[in-house]
Amino acid sequence: MNPEASRPLFFGTESAVPLGNNNRSDADIAVAEDQQPAPVHSEFAFSDGNIELQTNDQTFWVHEYHLNKFAAFAALIQAAKSSAAANSVLRIIVACDKKTKGEDVYNTLKVIYASHIDGIPDFDSSTLTSALRIASTFDYPALRKFAITKLEGMSLPAIERIQLSDELSLPTWEAPAFTELCSRKEPISQSEAEILGMTRFVEIARIRETERTRLAVQFAGGIYGELLQAAELVSSLQEGGADGSDTTQDAFGQSTLSPNILQVAQRSPRVLVAQLMCLATAIMNPESSRPSAFDIESTVSLSNNKRSDTDITVAENQQPAPVHTEFAFSDGNVELQTTDQTFWVHEYHLNKFAAFAALVQAAKGSAAADPGRRILVTCDKKTKGEDIHNTLKVIYASHIDGIPDFDSSTLTSTLRIASFYDYPALRKFAVSKLEGMNLPTIERIQLSDELSLPTWETPAFTELCSRKEPISQSEAEILGMTRFVEIARIREVERTRLAVQFAGRIYGELLQAAELVSSLQEGGVDGSGTTQDAFGQSILFPVTY
């Protein structure tokens, strides 16, 4: 049986259920240099990973910069680096204690290595529970918070939440889980009772009995009140029917008609006509709206961007620009150079770019490559350091710490680098994010010209053709003479079409208004019944005010 808890659950004010019963020893972690490791897991066997993380049944070759986010691992890694023995091995060997399961470490690595660019998977509860367990044991607060948030969004059974709270100290989970057990319809099972322990189960059983009695009394009182209200309503309707139809009609009108409908009914015919006539003044200033099916009679050439292929070289002896402090990972085995900035980054990130991956492999096979130095990869002169920096901000962003809301400048840089260096998933990610932003039309056309975005072309050109504001000179210069001439022609045709369409609609509405006035006037002379019928038809007619 589980030890008894100290945190109370209050259901009403009658009693407390002890909940906080989690007592565990600190994790026993050691750095082992000569230990025979378990087989390396194929999914996490990075050739540039400088850490060998061992459990009893699985081994993982991973990156120091990920493990440094766990306070316990970071301290051990630093201690290992300072030891003389660490200099003689390829990787720093970190052995977890015997209680740490390889499956938990594997599930945790799946979470921390997940890329928001490729699409973060919907981790199941088992994976997130493992991540929560490892984050709690090895001290990674952001990962613990991430796992808790995700698990809270899942429909975990109450008893499972209690188990996790007992094991991993989750006090905010306790009250909701115990409340659910106390108030749910199904009785507590024997297996649940064994998990709860005798003391907690006895208290929950007592609260459940009290709650059932309270609900029964509440339900009976509610039914009685509804019956009284029904009786009063029937009596009121009967009295109205006996005294006259007006009383019954008024009672029904108050229960079914909203105040807005009643106010409309009190308007005079002249007011209705005046409101309809106000529409006619709008014809002098028709607004341009984006047509649902824009009729473009000719094709505008959009794919007019021609650029040479990227010239990328691997340079071993080039004097690099200053290293950017934000991306200067000590365990990064690639030195990525631009004309104005240098970055120490990880091969496994660059390998996702097809162009970089080929260059890295070529450099590895070169006889000149020094195994004790970083691989030098030099971008062509057209590649700006700012674009590389912005791209690294995106690919190194952690979904655990919270992915920033990248601005359009950062995403444009990312799209540019992903396109030039061939990372389709990153290109798709940047395109998707930029499409959700309110980029100026002319900027979308510029990006389409530069980076081949055909799906952006038609919406952008349609917007230019249909918007109210004229094309500016700067926009015309970007478009070029040929495209601007064609857009100007389409805009003129569209303005004429909208004016004719708007005038026709207003004319039709004015005719309907005249017919309505005539009907209302005839109804007022002949009798209220006719007026009532006409008004009923008029308020149902879809007139736009």
Per CATH, the number for 23-168 is 3.30.710.10
In 3D space, the residue among 203, 206, 205, 211 whose CA is nearest the CA of residue 16 turns out to be 203
- With contact defined as beta carbons under 8 Å apart, do 314 and 377 qualify? yes
CA distance 300 to 457: 10
H or E, element range at 434? helix 424-435
DSSP 467: -
For residues 307-335, one letter each, b for 16 or more C-beta atoms within 10 angstroms of the residue's C-beta and e for the rest, the string is eeeeebebeeeeebeeebeebebebbbbb
Beta-carbon-side half-sphere exposure of residue 356 (alpha carbons within 13 Å): 26
CA distance 147 to 127: 9
pLDDT computed for residue 322 by the predictor: 94
Per-residue model confidence (pLDDT) at position 236? 66
How many other C-beta atoms can be found within 10 angstroms of the C-beta atom of residue 531? 18
CB atoms within 10 A of CB 361: 13
Which of 379, 490, 487 has its CA nearest to residue 442?
A: 487
Residue 286: per-residue pLDDT: 38
Q: Which fold has domain 323-451?
A: Potassium Channel Kv1.1; Chain A (3.30.710)
pLDDT of the residue at 465 = 87
Max distance between CA atoms of the chain, in angstroms, equals 110
Nearest Cα to 307, choosing from 424, 416, 384? 416
Rg (CA), the chain: 36
- State which amino acid sits at residue 299: T
The pLDDT of residue 118 is 85
Question: Would you tell me how many other CB atoms lie within 10 Å of the CB of residue 68?
Answer: 18
Assign 334 to helix, strand or coil: strand
10 Å Cβ neighbour count for 456? 21
Residues of the chain with pLDDT under 50: 1-33, 242, 244-316, 527, 529-545
pLDDT value at position 75? 87
What's the confidence (pLDDT) of residue 317?
A: 54
Cα 438 → chain centroid = 18
Torsion of CA 413, 419, 425, 429, to 10 degrees: 40
User: pLDDT at position 492, please?
Assistant: 76
**Could you state, in order of their start, the residue ranges of all structural domains in the chain?**
23-168, 323-451
